Structure 1
Amino acid sequence: MSLLTITDLTLRIAGRTLLDNASLSVDPGRKIGLIGRNGAGKSTLLAAIAGDIALDGGSITLSARATMGRVKQETPSGEASLIDTVLEGDLERTRLLQESETATDPARIADVHERLIAIDAYTAPARAGSILAGLGFDQDAQLRPVSSFSGGWRMRVGLATALFLNPDLLLLDEPTNHLDIEATLWLESWLSKFSGAAVIVSHDRSLLDNTVNAIAHLDKGKLSLTPGGYDNFVRIRTEQALQQNRAAERMAAQRAHMQSFVDRFRAKATKARQAQARLKALERLPQIDSVVEDTPTRFSFPEPQPLPPPMLSLNKVSIGYGDHVVLKNLTLRMDLDDRIALLGQNGRGKSTFAKLLAGRLEAMAGTYTHSPKLKIGYFAQHQADELVLSDTPIDHMSRAMPDAVPAVIRAQLARFGLDADRAETRVSELSGGEKARLLLSLSTREAPHLLILDEPTNHLDLDARDALIRALSEFEGAVILISHDSHLVESVADRFWLVEDGTISSFDGDMAEYRAWLLERARRARAENNERSKGGDGSRESQSPRPSSAQARADRKEQTRALAPLRRKIRDAEDKLAKIEKEKQKIEAKLADPNLYHSGDPGEITSLNVHLAALNATQGTIEEAWLEAQAELEDASQ
């Protein structure tokens, strides 16, 4: 039985038809990647599935009792901690916990506790903490208020809440836009293990290839389903296009042959009957259109002038903000033929380093030298906030190139697919992808020698991402790339710099080796935590020199962080046991009252005994969990 059924769906926005009698079926556990060009209606379709917008025709049916999870459009806010914000996203759990503290009806109290056990309410803090950790929040960060984080990090909290709900149907709209590569890889792993169904709007080829088992293509108002990931979709679509073009060519040749016979013999009496028959047959021939794709997306970067090496160099450079040093002792060099990707978690200094190279940030110490003729193009997503919404792309480019004639300005915009109509459209009416194209056009207007691209693909569709890869492969200058898009990184970069522990070092390997390195590092960290928790055992590690006091403090702090979820689980269990014991005392006092048996209602006696039995069962379950957690904590603390 289908979990989600979309039948003959029609959706219109501002008079434009986005979906026209489109249909799709999603079975339980099936993960579907929803793709299509910018503006095709993908996000609108998700909003319709979620019930946020009215349908213009057709129907959307979710099976009875199925739950649905979706990242809310508004970012979380407030003074609640991250962990509490995620936990409160489970409305049923929150409501039941509140009711368990206020309910007075014995039967209802028993029902509440049974339901809490059924939904694993008591393990929820550990599950929420694990998801937040996977998305880049350590133990300290999880306890900080949401209001202390930037918008991008708050979006991660919204994603964590949707994943925590573990719904039957998960709706995700560009879930990797605010993630670094590390968090993106974690999300891929989580989704591959997720047992529910999902509809995922994404332009991330790696995510689509590694997590979904079908691709739904939204094109010209229709939905077509192709099994497999994105690579398989491209292969099948290409084969179908070739077959359709061949069939169209054969049919066109047959039509031409028959039309030629009709034209030659229509006027001859001896052939008139045959010509007439051929004419009728010609009318009955099916129409097979050749596959004519929309105008392909093309980007191009202007060619820079040659520069003598080195293009730039850093000698023992430190950078940061105010008195806070983010990166220190950087000794690096770049030449015109370098294609470098910066790896590392968000918040480690990748964007800070990019701002230094772009001249947006001064070095705190050391020497940064570069050729006096060096031109740098800098693209960063936050620059979209600096665009004037009431102006057009032509207005922006005219200010950036005050001496350029109109033809040059339009040509620069056209390099990134902003045609005459879009060039004269107000920025407020441009899509996210079109704004990104405008920023790329602005950042490359002076034919830069070095392109610094900080998350350039967040709002670009798959065709535009491929166009960017092709343009970068033809670009004659150097590239610094910061991106969560593994496909883009693998296609463009030939060197990797790892930004970690306050410095930048070369990473010798490719993306596959980087993934393996991340997994191995996580495995080693878990093993070291376990080893520290268990203490020495006479092995070579236990006989190593005694760590310094600073290292010992760091180890203790790390151990405290590692054990925090376990301690929280124990505290939650103890709180529940205390409430259950208090409720049991009330019931036992009532059952011990002689008046209950002389003048009381027999039904009330039965109800009290049933409630007491339910509380005893719940108490036993929680006590077992508490004992296991306590034993685990004692073992880890030895």
Structure 2
Amino acid sequence: MIRFESISKHNSHRILFLDASASLNRGEKVGLVGPNGAGKTTLFRMITGEELPDAGQVSIEKQVTIGYFNQDVGEMSGRSAVAEVMDGAGPVSSVAAELASLEAAMCDPDHPDMDAIIERYGEVQARFDELGGYELEGRAREVLAGLSFSQEMMDGDVGALSGGWKMRVALARILLMRPDAMLLDEPSNHLDIESLIWLEQFLKEYEGALLMTSHDREFMNRIVTKIIEIDGGSLNSYSGDYAFYEQQRALNEKQQQAQYERQQAMLAKELKFIERFKARASHASQVQSRVKKLDKIERVEPPRRRQTVTFDFPPAPRSGEDVAVLKNVHKGYGARTIYQGFDLTIRRRERWCVMGVNGAGKSTLLKLVAGVTEPDAGSVTVGASVKMGYFSQHAMDLLDGEDTVFESLERAFPLAGQGSLRALAGCFGFSGDDVEKRCRVLSGGEKARLVMAKMLFDPPNFLVLDEPTNHLDLDTKQMLIRALGSYEGTMLFVSHDRYFLAALSNRVLELTPEGIHQYGGGYTEYVARTGHEAPGLHS
């Protein structure tokens, strides 16, 4: 269906692809993986024709429709979210737009051409019906509801939505279009856990071909049946999900290393023989034949090791037993009550993950504990010797835009050595010249990584984390899970990443309209006990 045939591509001085080949067949669901900057987005852009390979070709079967979702959603305003989503569905969208403008004109009783408008309205309505427009609107609303839109948000001006919600509108357009091949570049960013699970189900049932990247391994594992890996200019295909790919890659590396070592031992032995006997006439023919044999041997390369940076974070100081105590807390915004008589005690070394649908009060709880907001009644007490680190999206706005990444770290830790700060930066994805970038030009993800690095270099004993995994790639996320796995402090966190939740939580706080539930045991036990992966979802 889509084939990459011996493609080569370089980007300024970097070679992205070198004589690489792979294919996306009908109905296949493929995960595209590779380190940041390996060329994943470039591959998508070559399929859509926005970029061309320097050599080789990308061939696409005739009449194949392609839908491409990426993080650059462009401008959206002036119409409803539903209209914006339907706009991606081809000719029916322009008919819908005309229908809406005729309906607006018919609301004006003094309009001079009312008869002509009514006549035209009848024609357009018939055409809209013929194109399946009414079913399309129903489907558009269904997709938006799946992505957690309320009716008000669907019908309100799309321009009033935040960047994250506009991203969901752009994603909904592609899903409604149901093309023959869907290219999804990080569709799991900006989605809460309920929307993620809905999208997972949608993509499993989708009959077209799918090529996607995602920093959410659980999401990828449940959808893809094949992995295409970009590795040092090559495209390597693996049949199986992400977990199978990881095992297979590790096994391949191990086998290649063993093969390399065997060949190196054999070469050393042969070279030793040649060195020893090259001056002896009696062994001349043997030496000659061994030299020829060595010239013909195809050399085995050692496996290309992915650079995985590990960083040992210093231990956190010990806190008292009661880390945070909330007593009879009341909190609301306007007419909306979030908490009423809420009690919670967080003890040392507990790791609470907070679950709840949008608007349930997850971020509000974290703000109350962090002291960013006050309760309307009741008390929030932080215990003795507690040193808190609070990570939120707001923390990223506090970075000094004129500082470089390295200066920002140096300012925070003036006594730390250059080497350890560079190791810290590399650990959070700032390698080479990246440390010279000014904070004002950093992407949302880069800012999040920098704030997280500063927080963990001198770790607090109580981490309050609001969506810490947003924008983190798979390798950085894995490093963070490893570091926090051996962290001896206390945690209270919100995350939509189920792998992160399962790996790090040992308590669950579930916020539902029916009430607040506390569970001993982590996220995995919560799923087993409740039979669902998030509040309000039943499997």
The structure-2 alpha-carbon separation of the partners of 1:520 and 1:323, relative to structure 1 and needing over 3 Å to count, comes to: closer
SS of corresponding position for 1:290: coil
Retained in 2: the 8 A contact 1:38–1:433?
no
Aligned to 1:42: 40
Retained in 2: the 8 A contact 1:262–1:278?
yes
The amino acid across from 1:86 in the alignment is V
Is residue 464 from structure 1 mapped to residue 454 from structure 2 by the alignment? no
Q: Distance in 2 between matches of 1:18 and 1:363?
A: 53
After superposition, what is the alpha-carbon deviation per residue over 1:109-159, rounded to whole angstroms, capped at 9, x for unaligned?
999978964x64331111111111111123333222223322212211111
The structure-2 alpha-carbon separation of the partners of 1:330 and 1:445, relative to structure 1 and needing over 3 Å to count, comes to: farther
SS of corresponding position for 1:517: coil
Retained in 2: the 8 A contact 1:320–1:352?
no
After superposition, what is the alpha-carbon deviation per residue over 1:242-273, rounded to whole angstroms, capped at 9, x for unaligned?
11111111111111111111111111111122
Query: Cα offset for 1:308?
Result: 1.8
The structure-2 alpha-carbon separation of the partners of 1:158 and 1:420, relative to structure 1 and needing over 3 Å to count, comes to: closer
Is residue 341 from structure 1 mapped to residue 353 from structure 2 by the alignment? yes
Is residue 271 from structure 1 mapped to residue 272 from structure 2 by the alignment? no
Q: Distance in 1 between matches of 2:468 and 2:222?
A: 22
The amino acid across from 1:485 in the alignment is D
Aligned to 1:137: 149
The structure-2 alpha-carbon separation of the partners of 1:224 and 1:75, relative to structure 1 and needing over 3 Å to count, comes to: same
Greater Rg over alpha carbons, structure = 1
Retained in 2: the 8 A contact 1:432–1:460?
no
**Residue of 377, 384, 387 corresponding to 2:396:** 384
Aligned to 1:30: 28
Query: Cα offset for 1:86?
Result: 1.3
After superposition, what is the alpha-carbon deviation per residue over 1:368-390, rounded to whole angstroms, capped at 9, x for unaligned?
11124211122234543443444
Moved beyond 6 Å, runs of 4+: 98-103, 109-116
Is residue 476 from structure 1 mapped to residue 491 from structure 2 by the alignment? no
Aligned to 1:232: 244
Aligned to 1:198: 210
Is residue 449 from structure 1 mapped to residue 461 from structure 2 by the alignment? yes
The structure-2 alpha-carbon separation of the partners of 1:34 and 1:419, relative to structure 1 and needing over 3 Å to count, comes to: closer
Is residue 80 from structure 1 mapped to residue 79 from structure 2 by the alignment? yes
Q: Distance in 2 between matches of 1:326 and 1:498?
A: 13
**Equivalences for residues 349-360 of structure 1 within 5 A:** 349-360=361-372
The structure-2 alpha-carbon separation of the partners of 1:465 and 1:406, relative to structure 1 and needing over 3 Å to count, comes to: closer
* Structure 1 residues without counterparts, runs of 5 or longer: 104-108, 525-638
**Residue of 28, 37, 62 corresponding to 1:64:** 62
The amino acid across from 1:19 in the alignment is F
The amino acid across from 2:10 in the alignment is R
Identify the range of structure 1 (483-492 vs 433-442) with the bigger mean alpha-carbon deviation. 433-442
Aligned to 1:557: none
Is residue 516 from structure 1 mapped to residue 531 from structure 2 by the alignment? yes
**Equivalences for residues 299-448 of structure 1 within 5 A:** 299-320=311-332, 325-401=337-413, 410=422, 413=425, 416=428, 418=430, 421-427=433-439, 434-448=446-460
For these two proteins, the number of residue pairs brought into alignment is: 517
SS of corresponding position for 1:171: strand
Could you say what the CA RMSD is over the residues aligned between the two structures, in angstroms? 3.2
The structure-2 alpha-carbon separation of the partners of 1:239 and 1:407, relative to structure 1 and needing over 3 Å to count, comes to: closer
Retained in 1: the 8 A contact 2:98–2:124?
no
The structure-2 alpha-carbon separation of the partners of 1:518 and 1:246, relative to structure 1 and needing over 3 Å to count, comes to: closer
Q: Distance in 1 between matches of 2:339 and 2:77?
A: 31
After superposition, what is the alpha-carbon deviation per residue over 1:41-86, rounded to whole angstroms, capped at 9, x for unaligned?
2122222322333443332233222211123522563242222221
**Residue of 288, 305, 311 corresponding to 1:293:** 305
Aligned to 2:220: 208
Flag the structure with higher strand content: 2
The structure-2 alpha-carbon separation of the partners of 1:408 and 1:191, relative to structure 1 and needing over 3 Å to count, comes to: closer
Aligned to 2:111: none
The structure-2 alpha-carbon separation of the partners of 1:510 and 1:217, relative to structure 1 and needing over 3 Å to count, comes to: same
SS of corresponding position for 1:355: helix
The structure-2 alpha-carbon separation of the partners of 1:395 and 1:504, relative to structure 1 and needing over 3 Å to count, comes to: farther
**Equivalences for residues 135-284 of structure 1 within 5 A:** 135-284=147-296
Identify the range of structure 1 (503-512 vs 47-56) with the bigger mean alpha-carbon deviation. 503-512
SS of corresponding position for 2:532: helix
Q: Distance in 2 between matches of 1:339 and 1:299?
A: 21
After superposition, what is the alpha-carbon deviation per residue over 1:460-519, rounded to whole angstroms, capped at 9, x for unaligned?
222222111111111111122221111111111121111233964314663543783369
Retained in 1: the 8 A contact 2:82–2:155?
yes
TM-score, structure 2 length as denominator?
0.87
Query: Cα offset for 1:232?
Result: 0.9
The structure-2 alpha-carbon separation of the partners of 1:77 and 1:408, relative to structure 1 and needing over 3 Å to count, comes to: same
Retained in 2: the 8 A contact 1:318–1:328?
yes
Retained in 2: the 8 A contact 1:75–1:151?
no
The structure-2 alpha-carbon separation of the partners of 1:367 and 1:403, relative to structure 1 and needing over 3 Å to count, comes to: farther
SS of corresponding position for 2:18: strand
Aligned to 1:591: none
